[in-house]
Amino acid sequence: MKTAGLIFGILSILGMLLGFIPCFGAFNWLNIPFAVVGLILSIVGYNQEKKINMPTGTAVTGIVLCAIAIVFGGIRLILGAGVV
């Protein structure tokens, strides 16, 4: 779970950066739900690893990357008049 969340986080950051390019801002409508799925996977992975006292760095990285993609993608949609 934590590895899948990290992969989703990396891909969502790349998608967010693609959404910052002019004329590609609508891509955030696809990227934000993708990042939410990655956030959920990372949180589940974090909780599973925390129960058995394993290192949680991968899961935390996935959580941070997905959260950044959600926040900045949402800001980009608001500034670009994608959310009215």
pLDDT of residue 72 exceeding 90, the answer is yes
Range of the domain at 50: 2-79
Asked if residue 35 belongs to a domain, the reply is yes
Give CA angle at 31 (23, 22), nearest 5°. Answer: 15
Q: Residue 83's pLDDT band (boundaries 50, 70, 90)?
A: low
Asked if residue 17 belongs to a domain, the reply is yes
Q: Are 10 and 67 in contact (CB under 8 A)?
A: no
Count CB-CB contacts under 10 A for residue 63. Answer: 23
Per the structure, how many domains does the chain have?
Answer: 1
Q: Which has the higher per-residue pLDDT, 56 or 48? A: 48
Cα dist. 38→1, 48, 64, 75 in Å? 9, 15, 10, 19
Reported pTM:
0.89
Percentage above 70 pLDDT, the chain:
95
